[in-house]
Amino acid sequence: MKISRAFAIAEKEVFHVMRDPFTLAMALLLPMMMVMIFGFAIEFNVKNIHLALYDGDKTAASRKVAETLASSHYFIISPTDSPQKAIAQIFAEKDRAALIINRNFEYNLFAGQGAHAQLVLDGSDNSTVGSIIGYFSTIQKLSYEKITKEKIPYMINLKTRFLYNPELNSRWFIVPGLMVVVIAVLSTLLTSLTIAREYENGSMELLLSTPIRPIEIILGKLAPYVILGFGSVTFVYIMARGFFEVPFRGSHLVFYGGCFIFLTTCLAQGLLISTTIRKQQMSMQVAMTTALLPSILLSGFIFPVESMPLFFRILTAILPARWFMEVSRDVFLKGSGVYELRYSFFVLSVICILMVVASIKKFKRDVEA
């Protein structure tokens, strides 16, 4: 093993990256785009829900309900003059929900007969419906208190407090998870091209006709992408802390250690794809599919692993993205250390070692035979 030869490869790789607009754009723009898209567009707290309101009672009580709705800032209310028109608003897809307050609402309320109102929802959008129902249970309680000026006596007084993320801010949840997606996509994608490029150009022959060792090729090829990977991690980290104001409660050493293991796994995966397929276009597609899909859909980035069907829950166990997701989020929000994250770190390391061994073996077998 001669480090100077690995260095020569690394230097050449840097030239390639610097001179290839596609790679360069990928390395710089991809993390930026991801942060923009996921950081801004994804919002679990649904706001600005269009709601049709028919007030058939027109009393102080019914107006209090409307007032409470408006002051919640979750709804954009459009009043209608008949229940039919309110429902028609949903059919016309102008509103997501309709609240119909019946005549004698106030009378029935004070008569102790139970005041009736009807909530009609557009069931075609599950996630919005879930949020609306959540909001309404609060609105129901608040408007009762406003109308009757008395507190509802609770049999069980449930006081809810959210640990780690008291305001349930979606960004606190999303942005640390973005680390996983950015590393997975960027490093798998870029390395999937690097060996395939040599095969496609025919320059692999040039390399192999010299006394260079496979391990020197691999080290030289990967080194620039490790640095690039850490660069993009740091970019997302700065965006997370500085821009989205996500707290970082853990140790930087643990965090970057986790990043290193995950990064290495992804690089090895890219290398394996590149060596096996040997065509840039095809490698890139395979890398995209095997890196992007699991890291977004199966890692717990958006959909919790616990609520997946059994098969997928078992499947996620072999996906490094799932384990690094735990590391990234827990270090950010809970301040977990290596001890708390020992299972994640253990599995992540095992997968990493397997992947590295597999890719080196495959590459060695290919170039030595």
Partner 1 sequence: MPFSLLAPRPRRFCIEPKTPLDFAVEVANLVVQFGDFKAVNNVSFKVFKGEIFGFLGANGAGKTTTIRVLCGLLIPTQGHASVAGISYDDITNTDRIKDKVGYMSQKFTLYNDLTVEENLSFTASLRKIPATTFEKRKQELLNFISFNKPIKTMVKDLPGGMKQQVSLAASILHDPEIIFLDEPTAGVTSASREKFWDLIKKLARQGKTIFVTSHYMDEVEQCDRIALMRAGELIAIDSPSGLKRSTFPKPLYELYPQRNITFAEAESLREGHFFESFEAYGQRYHASPISEAHWNDFKNKYASDFTIRAITPTLEDVFIRLVEGNDR
- Structure letter (DSSP) for residue 96: S
Judged by CB under 8 A, does residue 306 bind partner 1? no
Kindly write out the interface string for residues 232-271 of this chain, putting x where it contacts partner 1 by CB under 8 A and - elsewhere: ----------------------------------------
Q: For strand 97-101 and strand 117-121, is the pairing parallel, antiparallel, or unpaired?
A: antiparallel
For residue 80, which of 108, 50, 107, 105 has the smallest C-alpha distance? 50
Residue 29 C-beta: closest distance to partner 1, Å: 20
Judged by CB under 8 A, does residue 12 bind partner 1? yes
Residue 277 C-beta: closest distance to partner 1, Å: 18
Q: Phi and psi dihedrals of 117, rounded to 5?
A: -140, 150
Cβ pair 179, 231 in contact under 8 A: no
Q: Which residues, 6+ apart, have CB-to-CB distance to 324 below 8 Å?
A: 179, 180, 183, 258, 259, 261, 262, 299, 344, 348
Tokens representing 120 are: 């009609």
Which of residues 137, 160, 209, 307 is near partner 1 by CB under 8 A?
A: 209
The residue among 214 and 257 lying less far from partner 1, judged by its C-beta, is: 214
Which of residues 211, 242, 304, 309 is near partner 1 by CB under 8 A?
A: 211
Which of residues 84, 124, 203, 281 is near partner 1 by CB under 8 A?
A: 203
Interface stretch with partner 1, choices 54-62, 205-213, 319-327, 333-341 (CB under 8 A): 205-213
Residue 13 C-beta: closest distance to partner 1, Å: 10
Which of residues 201, 234, 281, 289 is near partner 1 by CB under 8 A?
A: 201
CA distances in angstroms from 326 to 35, 272, 320, 345, listed in the order given: 19, 25, 10, 9
Which of residues 3, 15, 168, 231 is near partner 1 by CB under 8 A?
A: 15
SS3 string, 205-253, reads HHHHCCCCCHHHHHHHHHHHHHHHHHHHHHHHHHHHHHHCCCCCCCCHH
- Sequence letter at residue 253: L
Angle at 223 between CA 295 and CA 221, to 5 degrees: 90
The residue among 280 and 295 lying less far from partner 1, judged by its C-beta, is: 280
Interface stretch with partner 1, choices 173-181, 209-217, 264-272, 311-319 (CB under 8 A): 209-217
For residue 217, which of 260, 278, 271, 279 has the smallest C-alpha distance? 271
Judged by CB under 8 A, does residue 25 bind partner 1? no
Judged by CB under 8 A, does residue 364 bind partner 1? no
Interface positions with partner 1 (CB under 8 A): 2, 4-5, 7-9, 11-12, 15-16, 19-20, 201-203, 205-212, 368-369
